[in-house]
Structure 1
Amino acid sequence: MKLDSKIFVAGHNGLVGTAIKKALLSKGYQNLVLKTRSELDLSSTIKVEEFFQKEKPEYVFLAAAKVGGIIANNTYRADFIYENLMIQNNIIYSAYKNGVKKLLFLGSSCIYPKNAPQPIKEEYLLTDTLEYTNEPYAIAKIAGLKMCEAFNLQYGCNFISVMPTNLYGENDNFDLNTSHVLPALIRKFYEGKLNKSNSVEVWGSGNPRREFLHSSDMAQACIYIMENINFNDLINNSKEIRNTHINIGYGSDVSIKELATLIKNIVGFDGEIIYDKSKPDGTYQKLLDTSKLNSLGWKPKITLEKGVKEVFEWYINQKK
């Protein structure tokens, strides 16, 4: 990419898109095409086609998606599979038809089997059953990944798929009914502190382990890949054409209990942590193997403690 290249960031107001937009601007990329949901309905095939024909972006970051935590994924199963399939199908196909030079599709680590060996290598995709609670979302993301792969092989496109681990950062979702665990815990402990509560409830047993990557690190990885890595590079460095996507992770994980204790201390909550074992734990562990990305020249820089402190400061500033 050149600094004056026309770049479309789909989903620029979400956690992922916000970080990518901010990172691009900080690197000097100024010719960004940004559309809000009211300006462009990405689930509309006609509107997306018209947008690509008019704007002709050279590069696309496909960060738009319907996302949520365990409860949201399990409750709105139809919405999660339908909306995500429509968004990615429309953008990927229009990118192909309008000669986009490179597209980066962002998936999720939930695409991997529920009981995949740890750490999870890219080659473990489609080797076993998925976690049921987020199966519709995972299937949609697998379809997007395979769509990129298929268009590369059949039409010579340069569409790269990346699979980030659990992300957190500025502009995260802090709704207790639909958010992921890390922002939910920040809000719970902060409100517990303000209300001088004796305890804070955490869903599940606290035993599952999760890997967390700051959205700023994720954005830097995505831009690095767009600037330096092509689909043919991935084929040449692989034993097979399948599973050419790239994991983006931190490289280590923590238990939910360890995460809760860390956030409790950072927030300054003095009460007790109570684990509600009636709530689902989800997959026990989802640690990504990031050796492929590391070998391509990129590693994360933001530690979990530093990242949580930054997000907590951002969160309380939004409350002022």
Structure 2
Amino acid sequence: MDKDSKIYVAGHRGLVGSAIVRNLESKGYTNIIGRTHAELDLTNQQDVRDFFEKERPEYVFLAAAKVGGIYANNMYPADFIYENLMIQNNIIKAAHDYKVKKLLFLGSTCIYPKMAPQPIKEEYLLSGYLEPTNEAYALAKIAGLKMCQFFKRQYGDNFISCMPTNLYGPNDNYDLNNSHVMPALIRKFHEAKINNLPQVEVWGTGKPLREFLYVDDMADACVFLMENYDGEEHVNIGTGEEVSIGELAELVKDVVGFEGKLVFNSEKPDGTPRKLTDVSKLHGLGWKHRVELREGVIMAYRWFRENYFKEEKVS
């Protein structure tokens, strides 16, 4: 990519897309375009084609998606599979038809089998059953990954894919019904702190192991791949380090400064017992994460306070 190349970031206001925009701007890219949902309905094929016809982007970061945690995925599986399939089908096909130079499709490590060997290598895709609680989203993302592979194989399109691990940071979703575990914990502990509650309940047993990547690190890896990788196989993006949900809860509790009790509700679902990515391929290409977990949680909590509880003075 040249610094003045026209770059379209689909989903530029979300957690992932906004981080990619920040990273591109920090590297001196000056011709970045985006559209809000009100301006462009990505599930509408004709609207997407009209946009590509008018704007003619040279590079595309496909970060737009319908996302959510265990509750949302369980409650709205039809919405998750339909909207995600429509978004990615429309953009990938338009990118082909309007001769985009390169496209990066972003998925998620939830594409891998529930009981995949650990750490999870890229080659483990489709080697077993998916986790039922996010099967709809995972199937859509697998389809997007395969579309990129097949358009590359049949037409020679330079469409690549990456699968980030659990992300957190600026512009995350803090709705307790639809958020992922990190923002949910930050909000729960903060509200318990300011309301002087005696305890905070955390879903599940606290035993599942998870990997967390600060979203600005993820964005840096995406731009790195766009600049340096042209392979057909998707690439995992993560830290290669894991923490139990219980340990994470204790860390967030400490960062927020909540002094009450932590209670695990074992009647709520745990999800996949362990999900650690093998990032040796990404490391071999020359990229490694910079932000460690505690530092990232501190930055995420600061952003949350500044944007959700502005009446409070941030230390």
- TM over 0.5: same fold? yes
In structure 2, the residue matched to 1:84 is: 84
Count of residues in correspondence between the two structures: 309
Q: TM-score if structure 1 supplies the norm length?
A: 0.96
In structure 2, the residue matched to 1:252 is: 241
Deviations 1:43-94 (A, max 9, x none): 0000001111111100000000000000100100000000000000000000
Equivalence map 1:61-210=2 (5 Å): 61-210=61-210
**Cα RMSD (Å) of the superposition?**
0.6
In structure 1, the residue matched to 2:313 is: none
Deviation at 1:30, TM superposition (A): 1.1
Q: Which runs of 5+ in 1 are unaligned?
A: 235-243
Deviation at 1:161, TM superposition (A): 0.3
Structure 1 SS opposite 2:12? coil
Structure 2 SS opposite 1:217? helix
In structure 2, the residue matched to 1:11 is: 11
Structure 2 SS opposite 1:275? strand
Deviations 1:127-182 (A, max 9, x none): 00000011010000000000000000000011010000000010100111000000
Q: Which runs of 5+ in 2 are unaligned?
A: 311-315
Counterparts of 1:35 and 1:313, CA distance in 2 = 27
Which residue identity does 1:166 align to in structure 2? Answer: N
Counterparts of 1:194 and 1:126, CA distance in 2 = 45
Counterparts of 1:198 and 1:38, CA distance in 2 = 42
Counterparts of 1:3 and 1:124, CA distance in 2 = 36
Deviation at 1:33, TM superposition (A): 1.1
Q: 4+ residue stretches of structure 1 with deviation over 6 A?
A: none
Counterparts of 1:197 and 1:316, CA distance in 2 = 18
Which residue identity does 2:287 align to in structure 1? Answer: W
Deviation at 1:213, TM superposition (A): 0.2
In structure 2, the residue matched to 1:214 is: 214
Q: TM-score if structure 2 supplies the norm length?
A: 0.97
Which residue identity does 1:60 align to in structure 2? Answer: V
Counterparts of 2:274 and 2:161, CA distance in 1 = 22
Identity among equivalent positions (%) equals 63
Q: 2:289 aligned to 272, 282, 300, which one?
A: 300
Structure 2 SS opposite 1:103? strand
Which residue identity does 1:281 align to in structure 2? Answer: D
Deviation at 1:275, TM superposition (A): 0.4
Structure 1 residue 310 corresponds to structure 2 residue 304: no
